[in-house]
Chain A
């Protein structure tokens, strides 16, 4: 029969193709995963000063998940250590902005002071609220060095809400959401500093 050898060759070719692809994928998967982790850490960890840590924070999750705070939810956290001593905590916080949910990465030092805030995901108005996604970000930089006590709990709000922070021009709701999410994260850190970094937050 004329068609049989053709079909056999086709089936053989398919089998060979699937096998070869599986084999290549199996061999290269660990390498690709390691490279992906490296890219992720470079993207996310540039909000920490480079000489303040020597571990892989993204591979040391704190096991927090779905913790509901007054205006945000904590999706996860990572511990940052230097020479075995915890030096900071990274908290992933999700809050509701103007157009959708905003996901922030909030870095808090061991002394309870903010090291930096970075936007991981947002769908705010481009050019207005969407400016929280710029990096480096002049508006988010204002929060660096602040803590829960400075300004106090009442100071963590927009100036038009009797607080101390300016909003991004034209993006009041987005700014308010971000400020409350940061305040929630700082409060959570203060209340749980024992379990997050194993010591009291205030030096």
Chain B
């Protein structure tokens, strides 16, 4: 067993353990923290697959931005209100999980042969290629996104600043 494989199994089992920790605690905030850890281990998995950009984005976007949003929603809503309907959630969740498992298993057995696809270049998906296309082909959308962010900032200030 090579070092790569050992690393993979360590990371994979850690992310499975933490994803189980998402489901079982009664405290929703603990679940959210476990989810952040799971997402982080998946990011490290991407890193071992030579996809550093994807790993960084995974941490920034999922473990960072989206998890913060989750925590905000948990704080705003009252999680205790969902307690009574635990069985309903468990049934729905199990059904979805079984469907996903069937899909993955069938994909595993009937996967299309990879020979038809040419391998991607070594720099594919790296920060450099991303930046190249961002500042040449997508220069205009990039600039307009900055106006969009400006609108959001003005809005946040205008709606949240103290009267006086």
Partners in one complex: no
